[in-house]
Amino acid sequence: MMIMMTRLFLLTSLMLVISGISAAENRTAIEIVKKRCSLCHGIDGEASSTIYPRLAGQNAAYVTKQLGDFKSGRRQGTMNEMAADLTPDEMVALGEYFSAKPTLTHRVRNKDFSAVGYYLYHNGNSYSDVPACESCHGVDGNGTTKLPRLAGQHKRYLMAQLLDFNTRKRTNDNAVMHSVASKLTELEINALALYISGM
């Protein structure tokens, strides 16, 4: 009985320590979001402008990686300065913070044009060797731990990223995405971005 109570006490103590660490990491993320992220990305990851990405519901490991790439200079942009002094633990905490936020979607008014995007996303374009987006980003656009969630992202941001992949202005994660984006027409980029924004 005594051994069982000792084990229960140790287990309870361990859980309290773990929850304390988790709460501390969460506080750190909230503090960083309020001081740095909220102006562009909002407290809950809902961007203040369509030129900035929605981070709500984004895959935690992907957010962490992008922050690391901005810090190291592998990815270029406004975020280089924002990520410059973030620690690895803070990057992980921010990834987990934003991934836990509820996701929203855009209302798509032009259903006919969105249907073109639907076809490209799920089937690709065999005439120009464009693969289906779902083959990497998933049927529902939720991505993976290594690939971004696309569903519900701002149309304007998606279009800008595809154009940047095409011109190699996007300096990280470019190998595969350049080969895809360089084959997309302006119409296809617009249609895809519209459809994905409404997923």
Q: Give the Cα separation of 59 and 148 in Å (integer).
A: 6
Looking at every residue in the chain, the average pLDDT score rounds to: 89
Give me the pLDDT at residue 120, please.
Answer: 98
The structural domains of the chain, with segments of one domain joined by +, span 2-99, 111-197
Give me the pLDDT at residue 4, please.
Answer: 44
48 band by pLDDT with thresholds 50, 70 and 90: confident
pLDDT in tens, 143-189: 998 999 999 999 999 999 999 999 999 999 998 999 999 999 999 99
Chosen CATH of 2-99 out of 2.30.31.70, 1.10.760.10, 3.40.50.880, 3.30.43.10: 1.10.760.10
Whole-structure pTM value: 0.83
Tokens read off for 149: 């969630």
Residues β-bridged to residue 125: 130
Give me the pLDDT at residue 135, please.
Answer: 97
- Is residue 125 helix, strand or coil? strand
Q: Give the Cα separation of 54 and 140 in Å (integer).
A: 16
Give me the pLDDT at residue 26, please.
Answer: 56
Task: Look at 20 and 39; give whichever has higher pLDDT.
Answer: 39
Query: Residue 79 is which amino acid?
Result: M
**Class of the domain covering 111-197:** mainly alpha
Give the Cα-Cα-Cα angle 162, 88, 96 (nearest 5 degrees): 65
The yes-or-no answer to whether 2-99 and 111-197 have a common fold is yes
140 band by pLDDT with thresholds 50, 70 and 90: very high
Give me the pLDDT at residue 27, please.
Answer: 65
